[in-house]
Structure 1
């Protein structure tokens, strides 16, 4: 089993990665939590697959488990669903000594994470991600949030779990599209970090390869993110690097109105931004094609007609990462060479439209 420690000033925890870990749920949870009441939160896709199995394992070691379920989909990342889950927990008598386990993909992790962060001003949390996107990205680092209207993750909190349990065997139940979506975040991390992860990425040509190397992909991705988070827990500096591809990606995702998955939008965003910076001479020649090749090898989209919409610039200009009238765009000099360029929000359209060197 691979164990990655996230060691933060106020809260440390392990990320444990190994095939078959869901079978060890009771043992793993009891190693960090005393007996208590647990809200086991899943969506309508994941619950039928794993919720009873996990709940039974927890009950066998002395926990009291309440299974909660919400409709699958990004639209459930809302204040309404958060309020419904809170009402259920209150009705079931949960108190500050109890806990929440997020069993599912990125939506579940974000929603149940915020539920734990806000219920009675914060109760214990464990993340059990079942999608590739959640395993390599959203389950680690403590970001929790819900959406408001078309603005993603605008209401949230930094709230670290007590444990993250990653079982790559859960990936075998994903559709091809759901599996491949998470690979967009892996390519992002590989491009930022270079080294062994990028070498592995260069060998992956099919979705089947993603499944084959899932434990290694998770290990490298989580270790890189853990190192970043330990250096900058609340995105004051270094952690901004993880936003590579997200500024444009979030804008395209919002305009797609559900037709694009998060990882697909990040894939489009990485390529679009890299092409702009390469045209300006700030990124290495050929870098856009290098990224495009690795993403398209497994079927990820790398372009969208939505990029031509004027509304993209409004979304980017109003991005929640806007600070003091500036947006920090994350780009690459080359693979393994990330950099930050601060652009006044008022001129972001001119910058992204311009082709001349700056």
Structure 2
């Protein structure tokens, strides 16, 4: 087992990495919580594989399960209200513990419910998808979507501990396994060419799994460095949004039905790299190198969407400030640059001569 400490003062916590961590879950819970009452939020896909196992492992706890419908469409305020009701019905207090057990959607909505119920209940993250293990379970961003856009209601709420059990990845379909690797490619692009090169040498899922703990640890370590310097996204943390401005626009444009989050980010990274090379910001050859890697990882690299519609969605992005959008560009693999573009210039910046 390996550990990583996220140093955020009174909001500090540890991330634990290893295979089979679930078997010793009570031991890890006791590190951060001495009580007996748990409120476990998961989804109907994860429940099928792990409910029985959790019930056995947690037999000495008083626990309640809350089951979400799997998928981004569950990240709504209506569902948060239903979670509050279930929390009240289970007599959950501010001294108890919420357990987010699932992928990114589960972690986002569970963390938000924990942040706001009774003005805050402690919670822990047990991410079960590759995407949530390398990204969304770390850093404290929690929230839900509105009709108008993704993650427009939320909070910063750091977990008490994050448990990353690599053995749970075996239940993922290939699509959702490779979905998570889009975020790893992002980390390589913005901060670590060695990580990018490691991925280039891995030709299939089996080879990725041979290196999975190193991949997860390095990805979380990059995010740790960024979050420790800029917990609440006032500056540096925006580099983690490489590919996400366009990617979130595409997710919403297709009503969260055509692409997974990682697939949409893959498309978003390609759009930004095309723009970067055209504008002379990005070193020539970076686009083709990244496109080759994403295709190797079974991720999409092109889509014919209505650009005007996606631009409208992007203009509602919560990270836009004073009529400007911050685009995370890549100068070369491992080196990023922030470029501010006025909203009215976004279309030309992204799509001119294309």
User: TM-score, normalising length from structure 2?
Assistant: 0.97
Which portions of structure 1, spanning 4 or more consecutive aligned residues, are displaced by more than 3 angstroms? none
Deviation at residue 54 of structure 1 after TM alignment: 2.4
Aligned to 2:297: 298
Matched, 1:50 2:50: yes
User: Are residues 1:242 and 2:254 paired?
Assistant: no
Distance 2:161 2:58 in 1: 15
Mean Cα deviation higher: 187-196 or 115-124: 187-196
Task: Name the counterpart of 1:7.
Answer: 7
TM-score normalised according to structure 1 size: 0.96
In structure 1, the residue matched to 2:166 is: 168
Tell me, what secondary structure is at the counterpart of 2:45? coil
Match of 1:59, SS state, is coil
8 Å Cα contact 1:14-1:164 kept in structure 2: yes
1:341 is matched with which residue? Answer: 339
* 1:195, distance to aligned residue in structure 2 (A): 4.3
Q: What is the match of residue 185 of structure 2? A: 187
What is aligned with 1:147? 145
- Is 1:39 the counterpart of 2:44? The answer is no
Cα pair distance change 1:297/1:76, threshold 3 Å: same
8 Å contact kept, 2:239–2:338? yes
Q: 1:37–1:64: 8 Å Cα contact kept in structure 2?
A: yes
The answer to which of 147-156 and 108-117 deviates more is 147-156
Distance 1:91 1:349 in 2: 50
Provide closer, same or farther for how the CA distance between residues 221 and 70 of structure 1 changes in structure 2, counting only shifts above 3 A: same
2:312 alignment counterpart? 314
Match of 1:274 in 2: 273
Deviations 1:140-195 (A, max 9, x none): 00000111115111110000000000001111001110111001001000111224
**1:82 lines up with 2:80 in the alignment:** yes
Which structure 1 residue ranges, 5 or more long, are not aligned? none
In structure 2, what is the Cα distance between the partners aligned to 1:19 and 1:200? Answer: 21
Name the CA distance, whole Å, in 1 between partners of 2:77 and 2:208. 34
Instruction: Supply the distance in 2 between the matched residues of 1:237 and 1:309 (Cα, whole angstroms).
Output: 28
What is the root-mean-square deviation in Å for CA atoms of aligned residues? 1.3
Which of 48, 53, 71 in structure 2 is aligned with 1:73? 71
Partner of 1:288: 287
Structure 2: stretches of 5+ with no match in the other structure: none
* Deviates further, 196-205 or 317-326: 196-205
Tell me the secondary structure at the aligned position of residue 305 of structure 1: coil
Distance in 2 between residues matched to 1:339 and 1:3, nearest whole Å: 30
Alpha-carbon contact 1:55-1:67 (below 8 Å) kept: no
Q: Quick one: distance in 1 between partners of 2:203 and 2:297?
A: 6
